[in-house]
Amino acid sequence: MNKAKSVFIVLFLILINLSLLHVATMSWHSPLGPGWIGVFVLALPNFYLFVWMFMRRRARTSRNLHFLMASNLMGIALVLTDPAMESDPWPLVIGNLIFFGSIAYIFWYSNLGERSNAELKEGEKLPVFQLQTLEGESFSSEQFKGSAWLLMFYRGNWCPLCMTQIGEVAGRYIELDRLGVKVALISPQPESKTQELAKRFKVPMKFFVDTEFKASKKLKLMHENGVPFGMNWLGHGEDTVLPTVLIINKHGRIVYSDQTSNYRVRPEPEQFLEVARQKLVGAES
């Protein structure tokens, strides 16, 4: 199933880009009929959504993307009511592909399934697992004890929402540090990619590599075939980690756990600060 998703997202992006290009080319030569206008109405908002994510405006969207759903319905209505449908069926074909592709993206591709790992629930002790530092040294999760930590398991440099979320945390790093919370960013992506990412930030966040998915497998966070098809040609693997955020206290006990079931739905950084104030600083005082 995940393999199908990795191929689907690439094909869907190609579809909406080629559709917009085709409609733009046609509009130069003659006025567009209702069917092709409908294809444009379908393709443009879907295209904009991905551009918006890659521009790193925000690290999250609404779960059901209501505005996109509304534009999809408007576009398919134009396609289905095109009086020239019999003489030119291509708007109907392309329009339906975009419409159902968008529905699949919202409700199927974005869905990570139910996640309820009891070992990662609030109040539990963080399981023991192994990581690797950027210096190539082995690091045990037991070494997190003694300080409060925000642990973010992110998919990789290729994921725009992950990069935006890391940027948000970096932007609030001083506030987290004042509350006694250190930040650890963990990914199974190749070490070279994590090295590249670490150089982008001036704040002293700790970057770790989950070599051979040792931590992901131990914590049941491994996402097989979760990387879009073709990314291996850019130096990424096929598998990744399910986006997860944990906050642990200095005793290694989990005080906050976000195991999102939708890769587009992620916590606001203010939530991390509020947890630190109430469950770390407040608990100690």
DSSP one-letter code for 111: B
- pLDDT above 80 (res 282): no
Let me know: does 175 contact 273? Beta carbons within 8 Å.
yes
Half-sphere exposure in the Cβ direction for 266 (13 Å, CA): 25
Q: Examine the domain organization and report whether 53 and 147 are in the same domain.
A: no
Residues 183 and 82 in one domain: no
- The whole-number average pLDDT for the span 184-189 is 97
Domain shared by 127 and 72, yes or no: no
Contact 132, 214 (CB under 8 A): no
Tell me the residue range of the domain where 195 lies.
Answer: 118-284
> Is residue 49 predicted with pLDDT exceeding 70?
yes
**For residues 264-277, average pLDDT:** 95
Pairing of strands 244-248, 254-258: antiparallel
Cβ atoms within 10 A of the Cβ of 284, count?
Answer: 10
Same domain, 91 and 130: no
Q: Is the pLDDT of residue 283 over 90?
A: no
Indicate the number of domains in the chain. Answer: 2
The last residue of a domain, from among 109, 126, 148: 109
Q: What is the CATH number of the domain that holds 264?
A: 3.40.30.10
Q: Is the pLDDT of residue 217 over 90?
A: yes
Same structural domain for residues 149 and 264? yes
pLDDT band of 161, cuts 50, 70, 90: very high
Domain boundary among 52, 82, 109: 109
**Cβ 15 vs Cβ 97: under 8 Å:** yes
- State residue 235's pLDDT score: 85
Mean pLDDT for 31-37 is 92
* Same domain as 189, residue 149: yes
* pLDDT, tens digit (0-9, with 9 covering 90-100), for 227-262: 999 988 888 889 999 999 999 999 999 999 999 999
Higher pLDDT, 191 or 284: 191
Same domain, 33 and 15: yes
Instruction: Say how far apart CA 215 and CA 219 lie, in whole Å.
Output: 6
59 and 154 belong to one structural domain: no
Last residue of a domain, one of 76, 109, 142: 109
Identity at 202, one-letter amino acid code:
K
pLDDT of residue 43: 98
Reported as a single tens digit per residue, the pLDDT across 61-116 is: 999 999 999 999 999 999 999 998 888 999 999 999 999 999 999 999 999 998 87
Q: How far apart are CA 126 and CA 184, in angstroms?
A: 14
- pLDDT value at residue 85: 86
Q: What does the DSSP 8-state code read for residue 121?
A: S
Do 220 and 105 share a structural domain? no
pLDDT at 22: 95
- On whether both 162 and 280 belong to a single domain, the answer is yes
**Same domain, yes or no, for 135 and 268?**
yes
Specify whether 48 is located in the same domain as 98: yes
